[in-house]
Chains A and B, each alone.
Chain A
Amino acid sequence: MTEYLLEARNLRKQFGTNTVLKDVDLCLSAGEVHAIVGENGAGKSTLIKILAGVHRADGGSVVLAGQSLDLSSPQAALRHGIVVIHQELSLAPHLTAEENIFLGHFPRTPLGLINRRKMRDRTRELLDRLSIDIDASVPVGRLSIAQQQMIEIAKAISVDARILVLDEPTAVLDAHRVDTLFELIERLKAQGIGVIFISHHLEEVFRIADRVTVLRDGERTGTEEVRKVDQDWLVTKMIGRDFERQAKRKRSMGEVALTLEGLSSEGAFEDVTFELREGEILGLAGLIGAGRTEIAQAIFGLRRVSSGTIRVLGRLVSIKNPGTATRHGIAYVSEDRQAFGLLPNRSVRENATISNLARFRSFGMLRLDREHSFVRDQIDRLDIRLPSMQSEIRTLSGGNQQKVLLSRAMANRPRVLIFDEPTRGVDIGAKREIYSFIEDLAENGAAIIVISSEMEEVLRLADRVLVIRGGRVAAELPGSAATEERIMRAASLD
């Protein structure tokens, strides 16, 4: 591997006086999968954006197949065959998969109209070549996220991508879909395409990558062949200190805080029954789409219940909307931070308290001093890093955003908390802080439900695991007996 396909040397980038990339090298061979890992803020995104032509490097060079590249614009990057697949997909939902693939370079008839037959044939050929089995004639909005991702990759290949950059492609996929994606990546490799793979999931690095580069604080702390390293090596390089594995803490449980009896919601889940005690963390595991989020939504008044009952501290409650759920002491942190969590252009302070402004009201007016001290406490408690509580929340990193949303849930002094994918898109450091925050809450008597697609997360936190499959409780496993394998089995075998 002396001849690299892509050779980026000494890339440097500054924003104001803040250096976000310091002399970073990145080399990629044809047919190689090269993973880039690092905490949020380590510089991964900046590096990608330089390759994609979104940002201009302040120093360094990028050489592709021996030629020095001009990456002054996204169009220039595309011309060189560098295609980035972002986490938020950029397909037009109302156009079909075929149309999306050929958007901007439609095959034409002599009259200049779109040559639909040719488009169809070429799509067929392309999808066959990549072994993607999707009906390309339906609007992509009707495809699943996983399928849309495949289409976006196919689109990249259709413009002769030589280098494909996948930015956290697995964040939105469940375990099965990840397998399918990895198979596709293997086929891309076989065709000599160089793949740069960004992920927060270290086990994925070991599954798919040939080499890995670790970034920390804008510096490259290591590049190594994956088969030569282990997880501890990666984590140490990422956080700059040894990663102490934390044992599950012991907790004592109190009264039954939440009882679901035969709860059903049409088309989403059926006959869900369980009890949750104060001080207990209940894990809801299962595949994406199994109905876990829907159960949480029903408890929080976001989804109509067709039959069954909900009790809070033994009392039968009727929850019609999030307002009543909140009054019954239930809080919910959504899995989709962008859509259902953040007030993006409002301050951290306003984001933290919007769920319970009544708490800071006297004589109809907000007591800004009380609000301020509440937010101050939360910032200290969760170690939220920010310049000022007046900063717009969109300017924070994913981990810090999530911590602010946890504070928001706390503003109601809830007794029952539901965390839906609490660490999605969050770096390792923040992840551990969020875990210990959740554990602290349980120790202080809160009843907690954690919904997660990450096995490790469920196993780490839960005292008991309910596995949901096809809208039903497929298995109940005590924390001590739950293993990754048993959960997977219950979640995916029918």
Chain B
Amino acid sequence: MSDAIPSSTPSTRSRPGGGAVIWHYARQAGVLAALILLVVVSSFLNDRFLSLPNLMNVLRQVSIVGILAVGMTFVILTKGIDLSVGSILGVSVVLFAGLMESLGMAVSIALGLLAAMALGLTNGLGVAFAGVPPFIMTLGMLSFARGLAFIYTGGTPVPILDERFYELGNGYSFGVPNPTLIFLAVLLISGFVLALTPFGRSVYAIGSNEDASRLSGVPVSLYKTIVYVISGGVAGVAGLVYASQLSVGTPIAGQAYELDAIAAVVVGGTSLFGGRGSVAGTLIGTLIIGVLANILNLTGVDPFVQQLFKGALIVIAVMIMARSSRA
């Protein structure tokens, strides 16, 4: 019943709601505090950790998963999931590599990104109009798109010879790695769209209550389609960085990246039940996972053991959040 909330008089009615608001920020702040704690502990564990080159290295390393995670945030906010981003990244990578020699850099980039968006569009149409559950639709796409990447390359990696293309993934601008700048650009644009446009507002609404959104006149199916196009397109952008860093188009590019992206989103406080979260949280989640991996590397922890840490981190983060939303 609605009056379960402890409210009695007009003057004290404010308390429960006020608590909820504070709690909301506390959760965001909690994730940030976890990151800060991790950084502080790491700086004591290893004196190379806080060095500028190492920090830039962390930022560069998290960029690809970070970019994917930002696109994933849109999807998860609508209560969906996109398991196919790693495979879509793979398709875009082999297209960039395969088309560059014959069509030139600009055209191959455009076509690779368009292909990624087209695969995302397929996901979106399947989910929003054919009514396929997001998990199933994108699980199918995970396999399908990976298959496309293998068919296109015949299974062998395609080298990229245009050296200007290497800059994108390996170069620096203003002292910051280019991939990190791309990540931050994607992040800022997304944050802006989510917070300040009717579309962004509606994404939250759809995740919070799809039926109510539809009744309010929100074009639910269209917007749900668009979030998968965004997720696919953004996977293409991540593919750009990937192809440039490796200077080779391999059909196995991005395998299992979808799981890292989901982990970053969830650790960043975005709810898998939709309607709650932000790309700011996703940034923090990405950094937590990146910093953890970095300090484990620096301190020479066995890579196999690192997996345990990452797995435990994800579960503990979600446990804490589940507890807080029940309160």
List the interface of chain A (C-beta within 8 A of B). 13, 15-20, 40-46, 49, 86-87, 167-168, 217-218, 300, 302, 321-323, 325-326, 332, 334, 339-346, 350, 354-358, 360-361, 364-366, 368, 385-388, 390-392, 395-398, 401, 408, 412, 425, 427
How far, in angstroms, from A367 to B276 measured CA to CA in the complex?
22
Partner pick for A41 among B5, B197, B217, B276, CB 8 A cutoff: B5
A-contact 0/1 string along B202-235, CB 8 Å cutoff: 1011001101111111110000000000000000
Contacts of A386 in B (CB 8 A): 13-14, 17
CB contact under 8 A between A18 and B15, given known A365-B197, A366-B201: yes
Partner pick for B218 among A325, A354, A387, A396, CB 8 A cutoff: A354
Contacts of B214 in A (CB 8 A): 321-322
Contacts of B8 in A (CB 8 A): 18-20, 41-43, 217-218
**B133 interface hit (Cβ, 8 Å):** no
**B12 interface hit (Cβ, 8 Å):** yes
CB contact under 8 A between A167 and B1, given known A41-B7, A354-B205: yes
**B196 interface hit (Cβ, 8 Å):** yes
B18/A388 in contact, CB under 8 A: yes
**B4 interface hit (Cβ, 8 Å):** yes
How far, in angstroms, from A88 to B275 measured CA to CA in the complex?
23
CB contact under 8 A between A358 and B198, given known A323-B219, A343-B275: yes
A40/B14 in contact, CB under 8 A: no
Write the nearest CB–CB distance from B213 to chain A, whole angstroms.
Answer: 7
Q: When A and B form their complex, which 9 residue pairs have the shortest distance between CB atoms, in order from nearest?
A: A391-B17, A387-B14, A398-B2, A357-B198, A15-B6, A343-B208, A355-B216, A40-B3, A387-B18
How far, in angstroms, from A80 to B21 measured CA to CA in the complex?
38
Contacts of B10 in A (CB 8 A): 385
Contacts of A412 in B (CB 8 A): 217
Write the nearest CB–CB distance from B186 to chain A, whole angstroms.
Answer: 18
- Closest B residue by C-beta to A341: B212
Contacts of A323 in B (CB 8 A): 217, 219
**B102 interface hit (Cβ, 8 Å):** no
**B310 interface hit (Cβ, 8 Å):** no
**B48 interface hit (Cβ, 8 Å):** no
Contacts of B205 in A (CB 8 A): 343, 346, 350, 354
- Closest B residue by C-beta to A16: B15
How far, in angstroms, from A438 to B10 measured CA to CA in the complex?
23
> Total A-B residue pairs with C-beta atoms closer than 8 Å?
163
B204/A346 in contact, CB under 8 A: yes
How far, in angstroms, from A484 to B205 measured CA to CA in the complex?
40
Contacts of A40 in B (CB 8 A): 2-3
How far, in angstroms, from A485 to B199 measured CA to CA in the complex?
50
- Closest B residue by C-beta to A48: B1
How far, in angstroms, from A308 to B84 measured CA to CA in the complex?
46
How far, in angstroms, from A365 to B19 measured CA to CA in the complex?
30
- Show 16 residue pairs from A and B whose CB-CB distance is below 8 angstroms, ordered by the A residue: A17-B15, A40-B3, A168-B1, A217-B8, A322-B214, A332-B215, A344-B275, A354-B213, A354-B218, A365-B196, A366-B197, A385-B10, A385-B14, A388-B21, A392-B17, A397-B2
Contacts of A41 in B (CB 8 A): 3, 5, 7-8, 13
Contacts of B24 in A (CB 8 A): 392
Partner pick for B215 among A340, A365, A401, A427, CB 8 A cutoff: A340
A-contact 0/1 string along B23-39, CB 8 Å cutoff: 01000000000000000
A45/B4 in contact, CB under 8 A: yes
Write the nearest CB–CB distance from B207 to chain A, whole angstroms.
Answer: 9
A46/B4 in contact, CB under 8 A: yes
How far, in angstroms, from A13 to B197 measured CA to CA in the complex?
43
CB contact under 8 A between A350 and B215, given known A395-B16, A398-B2: no
**B51 interface hit (Cβ, 8 Å):** no
Contacts of A392 in B (CB 8 A): 17, 20-21, 24
A343/B217 in contact, CB under 8 A: no
How far, in angstroms, from A108 to B306 measured CA to CA in the complex?
48
CB contact under 8 A between A354 and B211, given known A345-B276, A387-B15: no
How far, in angstroms, from A22 to B8 measured CA to CA in the complex?
11
Partner pick for A344 among B196, B209, B218, CB 8 A cutoff: B209
How far, in angstroms, from A425 to B301 measured CA to CA in the complex?
58
A344/B208 in contact, CB under 8 A: yes
B213/A343 in contact, CB under 8 A: yes
Partner pick for B212 among A321, A342, A366, CB 8 A cutoff: A342
How far, in angstroms, from A401 to B213 measured CA to CA in the complex?
16
Partner pick for B216 among A46, A385, A408, CB 8 A cutoff: A408
- Closest A residue by C-beta to B15: A18
A357/B20 in contact, CB under 8 A: no
Contacts of A302 in B (CB 8 A): 215
Write the nearest CB–CB distance from A278 to chain B, whole angstroms.
Answer: 22
Contacts of B19 in A (CB 8 A): 16, 395
How far, in angstroms, from A408 to B4 measured CA to CA in the complex?
24
Write the nearest CB–CB distance from A461 to chain B, whole angstroms.
Answer: 22
How far, in angstroms, from A366 to B199 measured CA to CA in the complex?
10
How far, in angstroms, from A424 to B197 measured CA to CA in the complex?
33
B6/A46 in contact, CB under 8 A: yes
Write the nearest CB–CB distance from A289 to chain B, whole angstroms.
Answer: 20
How far, in angstroms, from A158 to B272 measured CA to CA in the complex?
38
B2/A357 in contact, CB under 8 A: no
- Closest A residue by C-beta to B201: A357
Partner pick for B3 among A19, A45, A300, A360, CB 8 A cutoff: A45
Write the nearest CB–CB distance from B80 to chain A, whole angstroms.
Answer: 16
Contacts of A44 in B (CB 8 A): 1, 3
B17/A396 in contact, CB under 8 A: yes
Write the nearest CB–CB distance from B78 to chain A, whole angstroms.
Answer: 12
How far, in angstroms, from A385 to B219 measured CA to CA in the complex?
31
How far, in angstroms, from A40 to B6 measured CA to CA in the complex?
10
Contacts of B196 in A (CB 8 A): 365-366, 368
How far, in angstroms, from A456 to B268 measured CA to CA in the complex?
51
A-contact 0/1 string along B178-200, CB 8 Å cutoff: 00000000000000000011100
Partner pick for A398 among B3, B12, B197, B213, CB 8 A cutoff: B3
How far, in angstroms, from A129 to B183 measured CA to CA in the complex?
69
Contacts of A217 in B (CB 8 A): 8-9
B198/A361 in contact, CB under 8 A: yes
- Closest A residue by C-beta to B221: A321
Write the nearest CB–CB distance from B192 to chain A, whole angstroms.
Answer: 9
A-contact 0/1 string along B230-267, CB 8 Å cutoff: 00000000000000000000000000000000000000
With A40-B2, A397-B7, A398-B1 given, name 12 new contacts (CB 8 A): A15-B15, A18-B15, A45-B3, A49-B4, A302-B215, A340-B215, A346-B204, A350-B204, A368-B196, A387-B13, A387-B21, A396-B2
B1/A20 in contact, CB under 8 A: no
Contacts of B4 in A (CB 8 A): 45-46, 49
Contacts of B3 in A (CB 8 A): 40-45, 397-398, 427
A-contact 0/1 string along B283-305, CB 8 Å cutoff: 00000000000000000000000
A388/B212 in contact, CB under 8 A: no
Contacts of B213 in A (CB 8 A): 343, 354
How far, in angstroms, from A350 to B24 measured CA to CA in the complex?
15
Contacts of A340 in B (CB 8 A): 209, 211-212, 215
Q: Which of B2, B10, B12, B205 has the most CB of A within 10 A?
A: B2
CB contact under 8 A between A345 and B201, given known A391-B18, A425-B2: no
- Closest B residue by C-beta to A297: B215
